[in-house]
Amino acid sequence: MSKTERSLLSRFLSSQFKTLPYPVQSFRGLVVIVTGANTGLGLEASRHFVRLGAAKVILAVRDVEKGKAAQDSISLSTETKNRTEVWSLDLASYESVKEFAQRAAGLDRLDVLVANGGLCTETFELAEGMEKSFLVNVVSTFLLVFLLLPQLRKTATEFQTRPHVVIVSSEGHETATFDEGKSESILAALNDQSTSNMGDRYDTTKLLQLYSMRALSERLDQSGKPPVTVNALTPGLCRTSLLRESSPMAQIIAGAIKFVVARSAEMGSRTLVHAAEAPSDSHGKYLRDCEITPPAIFVDSAEGKETQERFFVELIGRLEKISPGLAANI
């Protein structure tokens, strides 16, 4: 094991056993959207938002029946009613994302988007002509962010507040090999089964989320429009069902590791709630253990910054094809 690998492992273990601050910040009167809210981190974060007084928490889920079960769980544990809504959102479908955003445009306000929904799989599968986990974790996630920016800015203007977009990334970005980044077209390489390293794909999508968040934050700062805080976080390794689509062997190995060092979903969810109310200095930043922290060293390197810009330009180009005129929302 190299010195760098030992350092990463040491920091990871130290982080995993930290007790994170219990959320106390008021969300009274705010409207929050949480994707992937029917289970795990999304469910527990939604529970916190309701407990902290949010006027409405929208549970954005692929399976509405599971979303309703989550809704009942939140109502029971917080002893509240009529503070959550279950909305259908399938991040593997562009039309579903666009329909969701159109519905959200009818909200009186939108203060927080927690982009938590994600997919981890070692199987190469296409959806909308793209490798599915890349589609879900990156393309559709940022399609949703771009589509909701006008509503977030409207809220900023009308209520004199600063809305938040929270991207749930991962410290796995630090170990991504991301060989596709050396290709002339990064998107084409990611969608080519012959060149795709699916064992590295989840970590790669988390790196690309981080790149995209940083590039978007820079452009938002230059827009001259009402400010929206955009940040990203790692919740750490948590006991959730994220690996449900991984191979049986991967689940066995991960299960053993989780048994020893994983956080509970509730503990991990505290990082999501913190990012949703973090001050403006968190804009464009990466958060670990509810604190601003540097990302992997290569992210801030000259090569990393060049790759970030190259990828984001490609991503915007693809989003423009999905929803013409979308780039103007920045």
Per the document, the length of the chain is 330
- Which residues lie across from 57 on neighbouring strands? 32, 84
229: helix, strand or coil? strand
What b/e sequence results for 288-323 when a residue is b if at least 16 CB atoms lie within 10 Å of its CB, and e otherwise?
bbbeeeebbebbeeeebeebbebbbeebbeebeebb
Catalytically annotated residue among 15, 140, 170, 202:
202
Q: Is 54 left (phi over 0), alpha (psi -120 to 50) or beta?
A: beta
Backbone angles phi, psi at 325, to 5 degrees: 90, 0
State yes or no: is 211 an active-site residue.
Answer: no
Is the Cβ–Cβ distance between 40 and 238 less than 8 Å?
A: yes
In contact, 273 and 231? CB cutoff 8 Å: no
- Residue 286 is among the residues annotated as catalytic for this protein: no
**Which residue, among 216, 209, 251, 205, has the nearest Cα to 233 in the 3D structure?**
209
Within 17-139, residue ranges assigned H as helices are: 40-51, 64-78, 94-104, 132-134
Q: Are 113 and 58 in contact (CB under 8 A)?
A: no
Beta strand 130-131 pairing with 126-127: antiparallel
Cβ–Cβ under 8 Å, residues 269 and 51? no
Question: What are phi and psi for residue 280, nearest 5 degrees?
Answer: -65, -20
Catalytic one of 56, 133, 196, 206:
206
What the block records as the tokens of 241 is: 């069902």
CA atoms within 13 A on the CB side of 2: 4
206 belongs to the catalytic site: yes
- Name the active-site residue from 169, 170, 196, 282: 169
- Residues marked active site are found at 169, 202, 206
